[in-house]
Structure 1
Amino acid sequence: MIIRAQRAEVRQKASWLVAEALRQAIGARDLAVLGVVGGSSVGPVLAQLGRELVDWKRVHLFMVDERLVPLDHPDSNFQLVSSFVQPYFPPDNLHPFRYDPEDGPAALERYHQLLTDFGGCFDVSLLSAGADGHIASLFPNHETIRSTAPFFLLTGTAPKPPPGRMSASPRLIGASGTAVLLFVGHEKRAAFHDYLNEEGPIEQCPARLIKGVQEHFVLTDCGDEL
Structure 2
Amino acid sequence: MEGKSMERRDIQPPQMLIAGSAGAHARVAAIRIVDEIKDALSEKGYCTLFLSGGATPRPVYKEMARPQTSKTVDWTKVQFYFVDERCVPPDHPESNYRMAAEEFLSPIHAAAEQIHRIRGESSDPESEATRYAGELPTGDIDIMILGIGAEGHTASLFPDSKALNEVQRPAAAVIVPASPSRRITITPPVIKRARQRIVLASGVSKAGIIARAIRGRYMPNVLPVQFALPGLWILDADAASELRIETDQELL
Query: Which position in structure 2 is the counterpart of 1:71?
Result: 90
Change (3 A) 1:114 1:223: closer
Identical residues among aligned pairs (%) = 25
What's the TM-score once normalised by structure 2's chain length? 0.80
Aligned-partner Cα distance in 2 for 1:89–1:132:
35
- 8 Å Cα contact 1:67-1:162 kept in structure 2: no
Q: CA offset at residue 79 of structure 1?
A: 0.9
- Map 1:91-170 → 2, pairs under 5 A: 91-92=111-112, 93-99=114-120, 101-116=122-137, 119-155=138-174, 157-161=175-179, 163-170=181-188
Given candidates 46, 51, 55, the residue that maps to 1:36 is: 51
Once the two structures are overlaid, the 10-residue window that deviates more, 33-42 or 216-225, is: 216-225
| Alpha-carbon distance change, 106 to 49 in structure 1, aligned in 2, over 3 angstroms | same
Q: Which of 16, 31, 41 is the equivalent residue of 1:2?
A: 16
User: Does the alignment pair 1:209 with 2:227?
Assistant: yes
User: Relative contact order, CA 8 A, sep 6+: which one is greater?
Assistant: 2
Q: Which amino acid aligns with 1:58?
A: K
Over 6 Å off, 4+ runs: none
Kindly report the root-mean-square deviation, in angstroms, between the aligned alpha carbons of the 2 structures: 2.0
1:158–1:165 Cα contact (<8 Å) kept:
yes
The 1-side partners of 2:96 and 2:81 are apart by 11
The offset of 1:99, in angstroms, is: 4.1
Query: Aligned to 2:193, which of 175, 188, 213?
Result: 175
Q: TM-score, normalised by structure 1?
A: 0.88
Answering whether residue 242 of structure 2 is matched by residue 225 of structure 1, we say: yes
Residue deviations 1:145-199, cap 9 Å, x none?
23224411111x2124352111111110111011110121121111111112242
Other-structure match for 2:63: 48
Q: State whether residues 37 and 64 of structure 1, in contact with CA within 8 Å, keep that contact through their aligned partners in structure 2.
A: yes
The structure whose Rg is larger is 2
Once structures 1 and 2 are overlaid, which stretch shifts more, 93-102 or 2-11? 93-102
Change (3 A) 1:22 1:223: closer
- Alignment length, in residue pairs? 220
Structure 1 spans left out of the alignment, 5+ residues: none
